[in-house]
Amino acid sequence: MSNMIATRESYGNALCELGKINDKIVVFDADLSGSTKTAVFKKAFPERHFNAGIAEMNMAGMAAGMAACGKIPFISTFAVFGTGRIYDAVRNAICYPKLNVKLAMTHAGLTVGEDGATHQMLEDVALMTALPNMTVIVPADDTEAKQVVYAAAEVDGPVYMRFGRGKTEVIFDENYKFEVGKANVLTEGSDIAIFACGIMVAKALKACEELKKEGINASVVNVATIKPLDEKTVIEVAGKCGCAVTCEEHSVYGGLYSVISQCLAGNKPVPVKAVAVNDTFGESGKPDELLEKYGLTVENIISKAKEAIAMK
């Protein structure tokens, strides 16, 4: 069995380490510090941790004020509240003034599980990507998530980080290097480009192995930074393969499928198929059952890859 860690755990641990080396880091939570794992930071630096209570909008506004006074606030809650509920504050009080607030949101996507549709955020990447000045990052595993936290602190301006609730396979070793705005080509093939982010990267790698057995060679690319998109790599790989599939635990609107298609339509038009949630809300259930029901599976990546190849 490979090592399994939830990226929210990676966040909590890295945040605490970051707090040790950078005393400008302050942390806000909204009554979910146990779940978002900012409690780890709180334990080490109680005077730099603020619980806003169940008042997310105020949390975002307070963070903007802290940033205006030179602090680097990390704010956390569930992704659904940390993007949707506070959207206006993020737009008008954080992104427009380009304030140095880091939105580290957990429990994104269907893998929230039993809580159901109200808590399963599938539109966060769309909302955040649409905002000028915002950097949007969706890490794939523990190794990457930890590096993302450090990297976000170095970015001058707002950053949105998307973390998951459930344990995720650790796919990268300590030699892996995350860089903001850089997509990582994980496998080299010339039949199909598979662009993936978050928990779908591990599935894309498995699909790649299965496809290989059928003589189909895939380039799997981890697109952790959705914005700014690594257009050069995307165009290069899609151009070489002549077709592509995108894989994300997000709505088909406004996420990875949208940014990749947008990039390719304007630069290197090739067929692009999507493995994403098809314009619907989620529901209660176990994470794996939900991924299956909504088609976020290795099998679906394989079949979408074949459809894309057939369109070449």
283 sits near another protein (criterion: CB under 8 A) = yes
- Residue 271 identity: P
76 sits near another protein (criterion: CB under 8 A) = no
> Cβ 57 to another protein, closest distance in Å?
6
119 sits near another protein (criterion: CB under 8 A) = yes
- For ligand TPP, how many residues bind (rule: CB under 6 A)? 5
Please give the positions annotated as active site: 56
35 within 8 A of 9, measured Cβ to Cβ: no
Tell me whether residue 32 or residue 67 sits nearer to ligand TPP (CB atom).
32
116 sits near another protein (criterion: CB under 8 A) = yes
SS3 string, the chain, reads CCCEECHHHHHHHHHHHHHHHCCCEEEEECCCHHHHCCHHHHHHCHHHEEECCCCHHHHHHHHHHHHHCCCEEEEECEHHHHHHHCHHHHHHHHHCCCCCCEEEEECECHHHCCCCHHHCECCHHHHHHCCCCCEEECCCCHHHHHHHHHHHHHCCCCEEEECCCCCEECCCCCCCCCCCCCCEECCCCCCEEEEECCCHHHHHHHHHHHHHHCCCCEEEEECCEEECCCHHHHHHHHHHHCCEEEEEEEECCCCHHHHHHHHHHHHCCCCEEEEEECCCCCCCCCHHHHHHHCCCCHHHHHHHHHHHHHCC
Tokens 């190794």 correspond to 143
- Site residues for another protein, 219-238, by CB under 8 A, read none
Pick the binder of another protein from 24, 35, 155, 268 (CB under 8 A): 35
> Cβ 288 to ligand TPP, closest distance in Å?
23
- Site residues for ligand TPP, 73-132, by CB under 6 A, read 81, 85
Stretch that binds another protein, among 78-86, 88-96, 197-205, 255-263 (CB under 8 A): 78-86
- Site residues for another protein, 182-211, by CB under 8 A, read none
Tell me whether residue 20 or residue 286 sits nearer to another protein (CB atom).
286
109 sits near another protein (criterion: CB under 8 A) = no
Tell me whether residue 50 or residue 81 sits nearer to ligand TPP (CB atom).
81
Tell me whether residue 32 or residue 221 sits nearer to ligand TPP (CB atom).
32
Tell me whether residue 85 or residue 162 sits nearer to ligand TPP (CB atom).
85
- Site residues for ligand TPP, 22-61, by CB under 6 A, read 31-32, 54
**Which residue ranges make up the site for another protein (CB under 8 A)?**
29, 31-35, 51-55, 57-58, 80-81, 85, 113-119, 283-286, 289-290, 293
